[in-house]
Structure 1
Amino acid sequence: MKDVAARAGVGLKTVSRVVNSEPGVTADTERRVQEAIEALGFRRNDSARVLRKGRTASIGLVLEDLADPFYGPLNRAVEEVARAHGALLINGSSAEDPEREQELVLALCARRVDGLIVIPAGDDHRYLEPEIKAGVATVFVDRPAGRIDADAVLSDSFGGARSGTAHLVAHGHRRIGFIGDQPAIHTAAERLRGYRTALAEGGLTVDDRWISLGSTEPHRVEEAVLAMLGGPAPVTAIFSGNNRVTVTVVRVLAAHHRPVALVGFDDIELADLLEPGLTVVAQDAATLGRTAAERLFHRLDGAAEAPSQVVLGTRLIPRGSGEIPPPADG
């Protein structure tokens, strides 16, 4: 830094302000310092900065599965907010495994990230209490924390499933199937609750044969769809609990001998190009990520209020599949 200061004709404090994006430097002075930095190949010593400020300018993000299209926009939004705050994002996937989630979270803490954004796989996050007390800001997204009080940013899974199912009821369907994720997952349970509520509000009795929760693996979902479409009183419509379930349901229904209405939770790529277009309950993954990241940096800036929960609304997008009427005998 001494060489940079000498070349630019400024003091060490001015170089420090430019390097750390602090105010109080004129545009001309900043330009001269930046030119000196480039000419000398100066690189900031982040290790020394950590020792001096007690911060690493890095945050961790633990996702369920980075390959899932839903998490791409969420990850990008978190990264953009982190970048705006001069922080590096480090992420990993838990593969819906609570032990893997804990392993990743604690590994990030061991690397002294300033904060964490976690999409939880488990339902007990007391292992994080020592880290939070030590100053690691933590925000949960998509699902709330288990057995601890922590900030959370969620989509309205209950309300979205309720509106999607009610849409099918409004189009005349009386036998509506629900195919969802593992029942222990918060979003799956909330979407099932919304489905049940919509049927009850429509004066319909739920038949347990219309409900299937479990793995989102294609073979499991295909078996569930075929079971619901068989028998003397098959379902005339299906509400699918997430994008992975929806993709398999679409493939199975494409080969079915009669039209079956479908509403999916989560939008999917090319949904509008299917025939008919896919009706969905869309949630805004990017806004989820951005809101969670902004909350995290609010905490890192010193906010000390009690943990809070933000619930973001969903949007029903009719495109045709959810508007297919039931058969005349259905």
Structure 2
Amino acid sequence: MSDVARLAGVSIKTVSRVVNDEPAVHPETAERVLAAIEQLDFRRNLDARNLRRGSTTGTIGLVVEDVGNPFYSELNRAVERIAASFGRHVLTGSSGENSDRERELALEFCARRVDGMLVVPAGARHGYLVPEMRAGTPVVFLDRPPGDIVADTVLVDNLGGTIEAVAHLARHGHRRIAFLGDRPDIFTAHERLQGFREGCVRAGLRYDDRLALLRTPTRKSVADAVRRLLTGPDHATAVIAGNNRITVQLLRELAHVTPRPAVVGFDDFELADLLDPPVTVIAHDVSRLGEAAAELLFARIHGEDSAPRKVVLPVHLVPRGSGEVTP
């Protein structure tokens, strides 16, 4: 705070008033203080008492894409179970797939002196966390790796899962297989597209760019994709959906399509086994993803200082009917 005061040419008390949004600070003075805060990357410690050696706030931070998504809800519950076993609580926030929001949340949690951070990245720049990590706040990334730093990461086998989906559909006679994924700048979408390409090569299929579409999964975007993929003389006879949200939107669009293509979805979802036909999926243990990341985080909190680790969890095909439709 003294550095901010020196740079802005004001007293420490004035800096404190600006930081705490107190009245009686001239607007021009407040602007100078805020500019100095931005320049020095100053963040208010919301509980300075916890800076005492060996102290703890009893909390960890978790930043996910959308806590309302069943995938992340299950992930959150798993993290909470592990945290509770260590006597900690979890502060959770949704980035909305916005890198600025991710940074804001992560730094807010760090300002509250969480004992560690779990982050599902929304962007590719994570250098902002380096000062926090150097100061002793361990950070573990999950579901996606950080973009520009080396840190502990827990992933699932995106590549192998999509390769297995292609192989399964090819065994059932499909030669024109489509892939419908999320935005290409998202790590999991990119990895699953790579798996789709490799799966086509391994299955002896000609990879066709026209059958691989990556886009934000809205009802309109998926409807447009279905029209492109399932019409014309060279239409697809099977579709691999890149995540659970895309699978649900795809099934809505296919409700009145005849003949219906085969479908394999990446990520299982609730009621998938009760639909008609039940949905074949590439499944992985979402709870285990959260548990593994939280366990690694608490190992760091308790002093483990080995080199950063990369953990890749397995996936497996669950055949239920929709992926066994023949062309």
TM-score, normalisation: structure 1: 0.83
CA contact (8 A) 2:50 2:113 kept: no
Taking the aligned partners of 1:257 and 1:89, their CA distance within structure 2 comes to 47
What is the identity, as a one-letter code, of the residue corresponding to 1:119?
A: V
CA contact (8 A) 1:180 1:214 kept: yes
Taking the aligned partners of 1:48 and 1:188, their CA distance within structure 2 comes to 43
What is the identity, as a one-letter code, of the residue corresponding to 2:321?
A: G
* Deviation of the 1:88 alpha carbon: 1.2
Taking the aligned partners of 2:318 and 2:326, their CA distance within structure 1 comes to 17
Deviations, residues 74-104 of structure 1 (Å, cap 9, x unaligned)? 1001001111111111000000000110010
Taking the aligned partners of 2:140 and 2:51, their CA distance within structure 1 comes to 22
Unaligned runs of 5+ in 1: 1-45
Taking the aligned partners of 1:49 and 1:325, their CA distance within structure 2 comes to 62
* Deviation of the 1:54 alpha carbon: 2.8
Taking the aligned partners of 1:165 and 1:223, their CA distance within structure 2 comes to 23
Q: What's 2:193 paired with?
A: 192
Q: What's 1:231 paired with?
A: 232
CA contact (8 A) 1:154 1:310 kept: yes
2:321 counterpart of 1:323: no
Taking the aligned partners of 2:48 and 2:196, their CA distance within structure 1 comes to 52
Q: What's 1:210 paired with?
A: 211
SS at match of 1:53: coil
Q: How does 1:268-307 map to 2 (within 5 A)?
A: 268-307=269-308
SS at match of 2:73: helix
Q: What's 1:136 paired with?
A: 137
Q: What's 2:248 paired with?
A: 247
Taking the aligned partners of 2:50 and 2:156, their CA distance within structure 1 comes to 37
Taking the aligned partners of 2:248 and 2:156, their CA distance within structure 1 comes to 21
CA contact (8 A) 1:50 1:56 kept: no
Taking the aligned partners of 1:196 and 1:117, their CA distance within structure 2 comes to 31
SS at match of 1:215: coil
Q: How does 1:2-17 map to 2 (within 5 A)?
A: none
Q: What's 2:115 paired with?
A: 114
Q: What's 1:261 paired with?
A: 262
Q: What's 1:103 paired with?
A: 104
Taking the aligned partners of 1:177 and 1:215, their CA distance within structure 2 comes to 16
Q: What's 1:19 paired with?
A: none
Deviations, residues 193-246 of structure 1 (Å, cap 9, x unaligned)? 111111111111111110110101121111101110111211000000000000
Unaligned runs of 5+ in 2: 1-46
* Deviation of the 1:52 alpha carbon: 6.2
What is the identity, as a one-letter code, of the residue corresponding to 1:325?
A: T
Taking the aligned partners of 1:102 and 1:175, their CA distance within structure 2 comes to 41
* Deviation of the 1:275 alpha carbon: 1.1
TM-score, normalisation: structure 2: 0.84
2:68 counterpart of 1:67: yes
Identity across aligned pairs (percent)? Answer: 51
Q: What's 2:165 paired with?
A: 164
* Deviation of the 1:259 alpha carbon: 2.0
Q: What's 2:315 paired with?
A: 314
CA contact (8 A) 2:179 2:196 kept: yes
Taking the aligned partners of 1:89 and 1:179, their CA distance within structure 2 comes to 34
* Deviation of the 1:315 alpha carbon: 1.2
Work out which of the two has the higher radius of gyration on C-alpha atoms and give 1 or 2. Answer: 1
* Larger deviation, residues 305-314 vs 224-233: 224-233
Aligned length: 281
Structure 1 outlier segments of 4+, above 2 Å: 46-54
